Structure 1
């Protein structure tokens, strides 16, 4: 049962879910086509990493300014414009003749996807309130997660059926019909645009500093520094930009101007810790999927179709576990996230052990089992964590809180995709000391397990820092609403505003 009190709000949610599925499917479906795309374009390792990670980077950087523009000018027009640019850029990427063209088109497409998803987040915040808002955001997260898990199997079918030369191009075109359908639905079903912000002047300097900090953090993972001195220079640059950004935000607050990051969000420990959990989990998940597809095809020599078969259990398990996650939440509350993260760690480590010890004939089957566990882990962690994070976002910053959460995930994905794929590529192509593709995959899997372990520690710290009204009570209230009990979770201010029922 979809959240919402009438058909109109449920149809709005369907448009939002379609947008999330379209933009995440576009990124995930390309992972399995990376080897064939690399050979077809004659692209180097850095080119491939920019094609894959640049999308997430541009996506993340567009979220906060896109949200501010939506607050000022209304969301529907920006949603439609962003989806149209996304569609055109996807066609340009699919027909590109060289790495530079594909990289540029993917950057534009990522920025357009970020603009669309920032309107999605704002629309959900505008249309849904109280318990329905959390459930709608959770469904949006699950839809994107399942689409990401379905990407590799669909890409494998296209590459296997159409050949390596054309298959990767059709992988990039796969999102086109989805984008067309989403555009039609958006024109018909999204509410008319309206301004929601009293003061939505964009913090341009803050945005430039945030972009600079992110790029400075990401570039070393794409173009590996030649020596330790260069790595220290990059680290110093990131630190300097981060400090300048923090000072700039404080000065804007003292001057009575709206900063890029709302001060109420920075003071909420559960929100910050939950966002960090989402960053580590999301980045680890996407990076693990990319490395798996490259390992199966380049390392083990499997066809794209067999690679898709190994990846498919993850999508199935994530869909099933997402549907069942609320039952576990009913029993153990927010610790459901911890269970999912722990299961994900176990799956990643099991994949590493299998890569090192299993015979070649049994390895694909064992990796398919680890993918089943990994998908189940994602279903238990993603939706409950996002719902719990946004519960702790202050009411006066609910919209920007959702935008920053998504932006943080995308930036983490860009960095993790670059870093983990670099670990695999450098280890597998190195000397005999590197141990070959199997050892490289095991090392990359251990890195992903380490990221999930960090997420698990942060999740436990978030539980200790939760507000007096425990997250478990809120989750139980959500469950009560699902079975038909009426509960008014609006703030006193929302109850007094006319038109909010």
Structure 2
């Protein structure tokens, strides 16, 4: 029997997914440089500014797993479009916000929109691509993640510089609107339609599991994202312990729910899929290290060296360039080298951070940007070899019908890792900087902490590499059947 041809629309569908995903991930960092303008424009307080940033990260992380599970159940195109629409409408509300309270609420809904659509992107890649093509697709996704994180400050600085402090910040939200309209129209045309369920097939979304996991993730994230702003935090440290307890309760509930023959939010068997648990661990720990780098450097360049928001953003563009190149190459090479490529990328990333530390303490004045360009480029290249290949390897053996859930769990780990890393690295930077008044040494020490965190990811990846070598599955080539993705017909 001849296998069906791949869907000819798959690369166009991927382009739609990546542009929408880029839009939501860009909004994680683009707002940072607009905070002073927002403070002037609508009189936002320090607490308001904190929640404009933190609220987005919080709701983004809260809905990821539930959105992935729902997309698996009712159709990824449906959830993708819903997420884009929620994001677009809340972007309009944010841009028109007459007060800081309205802006905070709009950012909360923006985060929900981003959380709804992002797991669908990984799930759709699993659905539409196989073999080497899947690696290339995840390579482009990795480049999107890396570049969107790094260019946010540059784009925000450009918009505010062109349109002014008073109203320029509103346009960092309004620029989303053409993307939203285009994404919805093209998604309806190119994304594969939902599979039809049998009339007797019950839709089971595990509402108790959704609530337990949502409350657990919220309790874990709240003290971290508030502490990461460097302004103190109102949620006590033991809130995180409550969150851990709720997550443990969630795991127990999912096990009992499965025994009863129901369909859980997260099948615990997912963590027994070869490479999934180890890959998710590497992802969470690496995101804790590499996102903290941008947080510290952009603040240091502005507060310590007197750069403008745009100048600070331009300073980290070598990292973005390296990440884009590394992700594109990594997507093509992962099928051949597998976990070895990720481990090597972590070594390059670590080497780049060590070089950044050396440059910060040894070079100053006008030559600093040029001296930092090489180390940041190297670190970004290593990051590109980590992010997209690790996604490919982590999801490689996950059944397609659970791809959205698996992606949601993976991205939730990334969000928790990001919040924890910024809290830790930010605490070191702000604490030492406030105590000594020497922001250069504070930034260098914070970079060393980030390097230590990435070293932990390197250890986890090396252990997984060793396990794969013993089992004879170092790369996807060892297990791939090479079958093409099935063609999808429109309903």
- TM-score w.r.t. structure 2 length? 0.86
Indicate whether 1:211 and 2:222 are aligned. Answer: no
Indicate whether 1:107 and 2:108 are aligned. Answer: yes
Alignment of 1:60-459 (within 5 A): 60-195=61-196, 200-223=203-226, 233-268=238-273, 270-325=275-330, 329=334, 332-393=337-398, 397-428=402-433, 430=434, 433-459=435-461
DSSP 3-state at the match of 1:165: coil
CA distance in 1, matches of 2:54, 2:305: 24
DSSP 3-state at the match of 2:67: helix
Kindly tell me the number of residue pairs found equivalent between the two proteins: 480
Question: How far does residue 384 in structure 1 lie from its aligned partner after superposition?
Answer: 0.9
Aligned partners of 1:134 and 1:390 also within 8 Å: no
After superposition, the C-alpha distances for 1:285-337 in whole angstroms (9 at most, x for unaligned) are 33322332222122221123322321222222222222333566577542111
Aligned partners of 2:336 and 2:477 also within 8 Å: no
CA distance in 2, matches of 1:255, 1:473: 37
Aligned partners of 1:280 and 1:451 also within 8 Å: yes
- Structure 2 CA distance for partners of 1:415 and 1:298, relative to 1, 3 Å: same
Question: How far does residue 180 in structure 1 lie from its aligned partner after superposition?
Answer: 2.4
CA distance in 1, matches of 2:251, 2:347: 33
After superposition, the C-alpha distances for 1:342-383 in whole angstroms (9 at most, x for unaligned) are 222232333334334432333333333333222212211111
After superposition, the C-alpha distances for 1:144-189 in whole angstroms (9 at most, x for unaligned) are 3223333222222223333333333322333332222222211322
CA distance in 2, matches of 1:67, 1:328: 28
Indicate whether 1:13 and 2:14 are aligned. Answer: yes
Aligned partners of 2:339 and 2:461 also within 8 Å: no
DSSP 3-state at the match of 2:275: helix
Equivalent residue number for residue 488 of structure 1: 482
Question: How far does residue 263 in structure 1 lie from its aligned partner after superposition?
Answer: 1.9
Uncovered stretches (5+) of structure 2, i.e. residues with no partner = none
- Structure 2 CA distance for partners of 1:370 and 1:33, relative to 1, 3 Å: farther
CA distance in 1, matches of 2:197, 2:416: 27
Aligned partners of 2:94 and 2:173 also within 8 Å: yes
Question: How far does residue 389 in structure 1 lie from its aligned partner after superposition?
Answer: 0.7
Point out the more displaced range, 143-152 or 463-472.
463-472
CA distance in 2, matches of 1:241, 1:477: 37
CA distance in 1, matches of 2:38, 2:31: 9
CA distance in 2, matches of 1:41, 1:456: 45
CA distance in 2, matches of 1:232, 1:170: 37
DSSP 3-state at the match of 2:211: helix
Question: How far does residue 411 in structure 1 lie from its aligned partner after superposition?
Answer: 3.2
Equivalent residue number for residue 482 of structure 1: none
Aligned partners of 1:13 and 1:136 also within 8 Å: yes
- Structure 2 CA distance for partners of 1:437 and 1:99, relative to 1, 3 Å: farther
CA distance in 2, matches of 1:400, 1:467: 28
Indicate whether 1:23 and 2:24 are aligned. Answer: yes
DSSP 3-state at the match of 1:21: helix
Question: How far does residue 275 in structure 1 lie from its aligned partner after superposition?
Answer: 0.6
After superposition, the C-alpha distances for 1:424-474 in whole angstroms (9 at most, x for unaligned) are 34443x2xx334322332233223222211211111122233387644442
CA distance in 2, matches of 1:438, 1:34: 23
DSSP 3-state at the match of 1:81: helix
After superposition, the C-alpha distances for 1:229-266 in whole angstroms (9 at most, x for unaligned) are x8563343233223322222222122222222212112
Aligned partners of 1:56 and 1:413 also within 8 Å: no
CA distance in 2, matches of 1:67, 1:193: 14
DSSP 3-state at the match of 2:329: helix
- Structure 2 CA distance for partners of 1:477 and 1:282, relative to 1, 3 Å: same
CA distance in 2, matches of 1:363, 1:86: 39
Uncovered stretches (5+) of structure 1, i.e. residues with no partner = 479-486
Indicate whether 1:460 and 2:454 are aligned. Answer: no
Aligned partners of 1:270 and 1:463 also within 8 Å: no
Question: How far does residue 199 in structure 1 lie from its aligned partner after superposition?
Answer: 5.3
Question: How far does residue 85 in structure 1 lie from its aligned partner after superposition?
Answer: 1.6
- TM-score w.r.t. structure 1 length? 0.84
